[in-house]
Amino acid sequence: DTGVSQDPRHKITKRGQNVTFRCDPISEHNRLYWYRQTLGQGPEFLTYFQNEAQLEKSRLLSDRFSAERPKGSFSTLEIQRTEQGDSAMYLCASSFQRENLNEQFFGPGTRLTVL
């Protein structure tokens, strides 16, 4: 399968614990996006990378959140000191920037439950 993959698919943690999610984009894609989707809502943008550079972060991304994309390949999203409000689906998407054509392909998501 050459689509976007995310690991783990589900994560249950206790409040105050740290969690890390991984996203593997489509191999030739230079852009990678993280979105958060809460129950009954559409996804909301968190941050994006062009190659290894993190170029924009949403105000939703508090200082407990950090994202990396070393070497412009896979990306990790870490949440420190999790709170119940962090419970959501975390979606990763990747794209190849070519002029204005920038179709984003989504992964299956990581569903986080904070108890």
Partner 1 sequence: AQTVTQSQPEMSVQEAETVTLSCTYDTSESDYYLFWYKQPPSRQMILVIRQEAYKQQNATENRFSVNFQKAAKSFSLKISDSQLGDAAMYFCAYRITGGAQKLVFGQGTRLTINP
Binding-site ranges for partner 1 (CB under 8 A): 3-4, 31, 33, 35, 40-45, 48, 55-56, 91, 93, 95, 97, 100, 102-104, 106-109
Question: In whole angstroms, how close is the CB of 68 to partner 1 at the nearest point?
Answer: 17
User: Nearest-CA neighbor of 79 among 31, 25, 21?
Assistant: 21
Rg (CA), the chain: 13
Cβ partners under 8 Å of residue 68, min gap 6: 54, 75, 76
Task: Give 14 or 100: the residue with its C-beta nearer to partner 1.
Answer: 100
N-to-C CA span, the chain: 33
Shortest distance (Å) from residue 57 CB to partner 1: 10
Closer to partner 1 by Cβ: residue 78 or 103: 103
Shortest distance in whole angstroms from residue 15 CB to partner 1 = 26
